[in-house]
Amino acid sequence: MLRMLTKIKRMYKKKIGIYQVEVEKEPSQKVESALEAIRDSKDLDLLCFPEMWLTGFMVDDGSINIAQEFLRMALEASTNLKTTIILGTLPERNGENIYNTAFVLKEGKVIGKRRKYFLFEPMGEKKFYSTGNLPEALTVDDNLSVGVIICYELRFPELTKLLAIKGCSIIFCPAQWPKEREEHWRTLLRARAIESQIFMVGVNVVGKNKKFAFNGYSAIIDPYGNVILEISKTSGLYKATIDLKEVEAYRSDVPTIRDSQREGMNLWKVF
């Protein structure tokens, strides 16, 4: 009985890693430290990187080749790991199209891929990147489904709500969110967690590029809106443990997701 209770407890307890990256470092330096972080994730259930952290938003052949080579090395580094790794996003070429793509790895395989759907026009994304796909729930182990939204998509609450309805308990948001809108970032992460009754994991970059400064504030927020972990301007790998029972408890006390599944579907038809 004790063994069974211990096993059940482990099923609900999940250890999450956030890898906050300094944007101005050279790609070769980023690759080396990122692979070290992957190898150091043996004690983690899930690990997430930021958006376009390796090459920035460049879409030239050199950047895409760097991204492809890093993906190959990351797959190799994860071969013997049980950790689910969300590689943030990388530029991905498919035929004539280039996508802002989040790759999800486990045990040396790509188990999921998410191409950004809502592109941020003020930064010129629509000029260079093709529209991707809407997010879907991804089952990463027997009792856990997760979702991925990408940066600007944090501003679309319908995405996180639909992922919650589809069974997600954790939603990851890799991003390059600038300092000038950091309070929006912090507020929206908490809002998405509360309204969708899920754990939100926001993973941002730090440092400066040619146009913007980034203060990080990567964070893990519980379904009640409490901050479990928040990182300011420092780069590196940070870890925290969550309890998925909090999702069940909150949804039992305040049945927003249940009501969205039942009565709320008429509202979705309007859209």
Q: Give the burial class of 163: count Cβ atoms within 10 A of its Cβ; 0-12 exposed, 13-18 middle, 19 or more buried.
A: buried
109 is catalytic: no
DSSP-derived 3-state class of residue 213: strand
Task: Give me the catalytic one of 116, 153, 161, 173.
Answer: 116
223 with 230: CB under 8 angstroms? no
Dihedral sign, CA of 185, 188, 194, 197? negative
Please say if 116 is a catalytic residue: yes
Neighbours of 66 (CB within 10 A): 20
The per-residue b/e assignment along 252-261, b for 16 or more CB within 10 angstroms, e otherwise, is: eeeebbeebe
CB 125 within 8 A of CB 119: yes
3-class DSSP state of 91: strand
Closest CA to 85 of 66, 104, 69: 104
Q: Which of 14, 22, 51, 168 is catalytic?
A: 51
- What is the rounded end-to-end Cα distance, in angstroms, of the chain? 49
* 202 to 18, 171, 191, 231, 270: CA distances (angstroms): 8, 9, 12, 10, 30
For CA atoms 50, 53, 58, 64, the dihedral sign is negative
Please say if 173 is a catalytic residue: no
Sign of dihedral through CA atoms 50, 53, 54, 59? positive
> Which residues are tagged catalytic?
51, 116, 151
